């Protein structure tokens, strides 16, 4: 387990916002986590995976960040089942599945998320969601310091939501995915198609945190924002992307407060014009 004091979080959030925390811990084993939470159970800890889909609103956090980026990332294959620790990326997971001729994870290729992050938020694209392939999740229940498992059918999955978003004292450690045998050429073709579609639609030139808002029933967020004339709306170094209005980008020197100001103003105008309460998809810290 690696521990750092006064740690720079800039490279650990995809917006590339400047922020620091009092302590950062990179666990390597389940024993590390049990030790960490057992010794410091009273101190608040913030868990980060790949750093995408989060918004750091402060420049200083007087707390401990538990970071699963670059560690705790073992992947194993057993017949049609694949398991991955929390810190593995969806890129690593989908490529491993492809190499073993396993289908079911193609759409998640190149999604900038850790396995834990994808499970917690029920990541999805093109009508597919991670819930369709999750079999079991292993987690640490901080409330009683026990490691437990939960079946995918008990995880209360819904659009960009799951059991773990409702219980922040549960830390995802590992997930098992039930896949099917497939043709590796077709699997790879679907992976590349998903990647190209994503690259064509989403902003690539500036750092962003991914899609900002959840899609409301029967509507698409981007067209509503376009209709309001908010495409390109800027606060400080943050701007609503001119390529896709559902994204906010850091054009240079943006702060979390800049991005949050854009979010709140967008919500206000959408509510006023369309009567819709936009729900933020990103995790605001």
CATH number at residue 60: 3.30.43.10
91 plus 145 within the same structural domain: yes
**Helix (H/G/I), strand (E/B), else coil: 225:** helix
Alpha-carbon span 243 to 50, nearest angstrom: 24
- Of 16, 46, 67, the last residue of a domain is 67
* Active site members: 160, 211, 281
Q: Where are any strands of DSSP class E within 40-168?
A: 45-48, 54-55, 60-67, 75-78, 81-85, 102-103, 124-125, 128-129, 134-141, 146-151
**Residue 235, token pair as written in the block:** 């606060």
In a domain, 215, yes or no: no
> 135 and 52 share a domain?
no
CA distance 65 to 46: 5
In a domain, 171, yes or no: yes
State residue 156's pLDDT score.
94
Tell me what the mean pLDDT of segment 140-159 comes to: 94
My answer on whether 119 and 100 are in the same domain is: yes
State residue 191's pLDDT score: 96
Q: What is the pTM of this model?
A: 0.91
pLDDT of residue 40: 58
| The predicted structure's pLDDT at residue 270 | 98
22 and 58 belong to one structural domain: yes
Domain stops at, among 47, 67, 87: 67
Residue 262 in this model has a pLDDT that exceeds 90: yes
pLDDT value, residue 204 = 87
Q: Is residue 212 part of a domain?
A: no
Of all residues in the chain, what percent carry a pLDDT higher than 90? 86
Count of domains forming the chain: 3
Q: Which residue range forms the structural domain that includes residue 190?
A: 75-201
């Amino acid at each position: 387990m690696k521990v750092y004091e006064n740690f720079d979080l800039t490279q650990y959030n995809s917006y590339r916002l400047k922020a620091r925390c009092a302590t950062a811990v990179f666990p390597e084993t389940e024993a590390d986590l049990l030790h960490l939470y057992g010794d410091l159970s009273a101190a608040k800890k913030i868990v980060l995976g790949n750093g995408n889909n989060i918004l750091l609103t402060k420049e200083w956090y007087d707390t401990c960040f538990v970071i699963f980026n670059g560690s705790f990332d073992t992947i194993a294959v057993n017949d049609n089942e694949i398991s991955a620790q929390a810190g593995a990326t969806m890129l690593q997971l989908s490529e491993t599945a492809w190499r073993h001729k396993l289908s079911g994870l193609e759409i998640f290729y190149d999604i900038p998320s850790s396995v834990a992050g994808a499970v917690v938020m029920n990541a999805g694209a093109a009508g597919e969601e991670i819930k369709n392939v999750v079999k079991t999740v292993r987690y640490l229940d901080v409330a009683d310091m026990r490691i437990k498992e939960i079946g995918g059918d008990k995880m209360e999955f819904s659009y960009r939501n799951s059991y773990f978003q409702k219980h922040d004292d549960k830390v995802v450690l590992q997930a098992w995915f039930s896949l099917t045998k497939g043709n590796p050429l077709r699997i790879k073709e679907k992976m590349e198609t998903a990647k190209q579609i994503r690259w064509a639609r989403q902003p690539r030139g500036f750092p962003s945190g991914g899609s900002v808002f959840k899609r409301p029933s029967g509507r698409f967020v981007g067209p509503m924002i376009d209709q309001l004339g908010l495409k390109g709306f800027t606060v400080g170094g943050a701007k609503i992307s001119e390529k896709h209005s559902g994204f906010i980008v850091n054009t240079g020197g943006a702060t979390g407060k800049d991005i949050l100001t854009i979010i709140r103003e967008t919500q206000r105008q959408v509510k006023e014009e369309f009567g819709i309460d936009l729900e933020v998809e990103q995790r605001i810290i």
